[in-house]
């Protein structure tokens, strides 16, 4: 009973962190981009980004042209659109959506874990996930990790049901549907779900004896997958892959998964068909995700013509993709033993577990202090900027266009004010852009040379940006 109260207390703290994250954290850059796609689709029936491409391909300034969604992220955009139609197009409604998705994911994890491994395991796992920093961050930033975790849990639950031969035809259909949903959410064609479904179908056809692979083979599989993904996307294998891939495996595998989730597991040497399958599945997904993350780093280096250090710093939170493995890794532990895999009283790693839980709480407290930055500036500009006035945003290239789109949802949520924003690299003389594009507002980041004359008046803002507007 005492252990149950402790887990309830941790869960209560986690729920509090989820709520505080939704209140205080700024939405993520991707959340703003997807919300802009959707709000534009609501306005004119065609979801586009009106201010230019996100990927600037080595350019030093943006070109204002429409970038269509082309049905990518169909499921994710549909969810946001329904939410906007029910409520309104605003930052507040998106923060509430993030909270709803997070609570839904935790609820699904609890219900599925309880059905398979009992109430004690379900409560403990849900409590740990509720304070897991990447998922708390996902709530506040409206990242896709919560909804992906929810869909992945349903897929895993279906796989266990197939292994146990319980209404297997229904569970096969559910697996295929939610595989397609996850791919669509991540902007990958849903048709590839058929390929991912094949190992699940094999369980129905001839029940192969799957076994987890050793560390050496896992590293080899990860390397092969990474090289294939990089070659497919870039048609070359950059030398930086030698550094990026090991870093990705260490950060994602050791810090995010082992230290962050499994360090305090009550491990068992016993194995069975279910634990072996879940372990192997986790390993293969891990290999694929490491390859995918490494590929994204290299693609951004190529697109932005930036160094490895700059790209790894700006995209350092991309390792959060591996959080989808939290449930299968824990379920693999639960399948090995009749008792509780997550326990306090009889856990030989109890002190380590206490330290890790305390550390997660500290990390969550820190991420709640993140500055709202340019998102808050957009709120300030809403009542000041006139219809038809244009904005010039001066910043360094990495994520510049992503940050630019954090302005649109707050300055022109209905896409009816005829406001256009442009970006220019802080290292060029951008003064000619002012006349060419009839700029009325200029936003400068730190250490940016100012080319404005006396006609420009500084705008008082609560953010760290320097903002100027053109006097009439």
Distance between CA 351 and CA 362 in Å, rounded? 17
Q: Which helix (H) or strand (E) holds 393?
A: strand 390-395
Q: What is the pLDDT of residue 16?
A: 94
Please check whether residue 312 lies inside any domain of the structure: yes
Same domain, 273 and 355: no
DSSP string, 320-358: GGGGGGHHHHHHHHHHT-SS-SS-STT-TTHHHHHHHHH
pLDDT 10s digit of each residue in the chain, 472 long?
577 888 899 999 999 999 999 998 999 999 999 999 999 999 988 899 999 988 877 788 898 888 898 888 999 999 999 999 999 999 999 999 999 999 999 999 999 999 999 998 999 999 999 999 999 999 999 999 999 999 999 999 999 998 888 777 889 999 999 999 999 999 999 999 998 888 888 777 776 678 888 999 999 999 999 999 999 998 999 999 999 999 999 999 888 887 766 666 656 677 788 888 898 999 999 999 999 999 999 988 887 777 888 888 888 888 999 999 999 999 988 888 777 767 766 666 667 777 778 888 888 888 787 666 788 888 899 989 999 999 999 988 878 888 899 999 999 999 999 999 999 998 889 999 998 899 999 999 877 888 898 899 999 888 888 899 998 6
Distance between CA 240 and CA 237 in Å, rounded? 8
Distance between CA 114 and CA 4 in Å, rounded? 14
Same domain, 331 and 395: no
Please report how many Cα atoms fall inside a 13 Å half-sphere around the Cα of residue 358, on the Cβ side. 6
Please check whether residue 229 lies inside any domain of the structure: yes
Length of the chain: 472
Q: What is the pLDDT of residue 57?
A: 73
Please check whether residue 196 lies inside any domain of the structure: no
Q: Which helix (H) or strand (E) holds 467?
A: strand 466-470
Q: What is the pLDDT of residue 313?
A: 85
* Dihedrals phi, psi of 391, to nearest 5 degrees: -120, 140
Same domain, 243 and 358: no
Please report how many Cα atoms fall inside a 13 Å half-sphere around the Cα of residue 26, on the Cβ side. 21
Q: Which residues contact 453 (CB under 8 A, 6 or more apart)?
A: none
Q: Supply the CATH number for residue 399's domain.
A: 3.40.190
Q: Which helix (H) or strand (E) holds 456?
A: strand 456-459
Task: Residue 56: name the closest of 435, 399, 369 by CA.
Answer: 399
Same domain, 130 and 253: no
> Exposed (0-12), middle (13-18) or buried (19+): which is 1, by Cβ within 10 Å?
exposed
Q: What is the pLDDT of residue 349?
A: 64
Same domain, 4 and 15: yes
Q: Are 213 and 267 in contact (CB under 8 A)?
A: no
Please check whether residue 190 lies inside any domain of the structure: no
Q: Which residues contact 30 (CB under 8 A, 6 or more apart)?
A: 143, 144, 402
In terms of residue numbers, what domain contains 248? 209-339
Please check whether residue 174 lies inside any domain of the structure: no
DSSP string, 61-118: B-----EE-TTTTHHHHHHHHHHHHHS-SSHHHHHHHHHHHHHHHHHHHHHHHHHHH-
Task: Residue 364: name the closest of 4, 6, 13 by CA.
Answer: 13
Same domain, 13 and 136: yes
Same domain, 272 and 395: no
Same domain, 23 and 101: yes
Query: β-strand 390-395 against 67-68: which pairing, if any?
Result: unpaired
Q: What is the pLDDT of residue 441?
A: 95
Global pTM?
Answer: 0.91
Same domain, 227 and 279: yes
Structurally, the chain folds into a number of domains equal to: 3
The residue out of 339, 360, 386 marking a domain boundary is: 339
Tokens of 120: 């004690």
Tokens of 106: 């935790």
Same domain, 360 and 410: no
Location of structure tokens 């998964």: 257
Please check whether residue 182 lies inside any domain of the structure: no
Please check whether residue 192 lies inside any domain of the structure: no
Location of structure tokens 């692979």: 213
Tokens of 218: 């896992």
Secondary structure (3-state) at 458:
strand
Q: In which region does residue 61 sit, left (phi positive, over 0), alpha (psi from -120 to 50) or beta (all else)?
A: beta
Same domain, 270 and 381: no
Same domain, 365 and 383: no
Please check whether residue 152 lies inside any domain of the structure: no
Kindly tell me the sign of the dihedral angle through the C-alpha atoms of 213, 219, 220, 222.
positive
């Amino acid at each position: 009973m005492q252990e149950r109260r402790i887990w309830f207390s941790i869960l209560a703290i986690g729920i509090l962190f989820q709520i505080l994250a939704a209140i205080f954290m700024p939405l993520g850059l991707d959340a703003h981009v997807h919300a802009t796609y959707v709000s534009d689709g609501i306005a004119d029936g065609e979801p586009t980004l009106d201010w230019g491409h996100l990927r600037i391909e080595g350019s030093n300034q943006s070109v204002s042209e429409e970038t269509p969604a082309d049905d990518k992220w169909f499921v994710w955009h549909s969810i946001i659109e329904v939410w906007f139609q029910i409520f309104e197009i605003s930052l507040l409604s998106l923060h509430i959506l993030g909270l709803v998705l997070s609570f839904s994911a935790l609820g699904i994890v609890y219900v599925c874990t309880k059905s398979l491994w009992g109430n004690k395991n379900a409560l403990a796992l849900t409590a740990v996930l509720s304070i897991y920093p990447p998922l708390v961050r996902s709530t506040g930033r409206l990242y896709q990790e919560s909804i992906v975790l929810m869909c992945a849990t349903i897929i895993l639950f279906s796989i266990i049901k197939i292994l146990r031969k319980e209404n297997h035809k229904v569970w096969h259909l559910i697996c295929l549907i939610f595989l397609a949903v996850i791919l669509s959410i991540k902007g990958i064609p849903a048709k590839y779900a058929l390929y991912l479904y094949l190992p699940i179908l094999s369980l129905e056809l001839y029940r192969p004896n799957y076994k987890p692979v050793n560390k050496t083979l896992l590293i080899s599989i990860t390397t092969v997958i990474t090289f294939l993904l990089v070659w497919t996307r870039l048609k070359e294998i950059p030398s930086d892959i030698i550094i990026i891939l090991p870093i990705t495996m260490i950060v994602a595998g050791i810090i995010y998964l082992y230290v962050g989730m499994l360090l305090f597991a009550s491990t068992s040497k016993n194995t069975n068909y279910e634990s072996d399958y879940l372990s192997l599945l986790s390993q293969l997904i891990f290999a694929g995700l490491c390859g995918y993350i490494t590929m994204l780093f290299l693609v951004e280096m190529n697109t932005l013509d930036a160094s490895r250090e700059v790209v790894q710093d700006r995209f350092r939170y991309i390792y959060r993709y591996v959080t989808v493995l939290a449930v299968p890794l824990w379920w693999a532990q639960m399948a090995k033993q009749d008792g509780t895999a997550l326990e306090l009283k009889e856990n030989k790693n109890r002190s380590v577990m206490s330290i890790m839980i305390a550390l997660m709480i500290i990390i969550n407290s820190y991420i709640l202090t993140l500055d709202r930055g340019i998102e808050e500036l957009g709120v300030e500009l809403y009542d000041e900027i006139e219809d038809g006035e244009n904005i010039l945003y001066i910043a360094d290239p990495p994520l510049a266009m992503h940050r630019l789109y954090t302005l649109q949802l707050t300055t022109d949520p209905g896409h009816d004010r005829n406001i256009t924003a442009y970006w220019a690299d802080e290292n060029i003389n951008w003064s000619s852009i002012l006349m060419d594009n009839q700029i009325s507002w200029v936003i400068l980041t730190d250490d940016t040379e100012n080319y404005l004359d006396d006609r420009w008046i500084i705008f008082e803002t609560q953010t760290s940006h320097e903002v100027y507007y053109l006097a009439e």
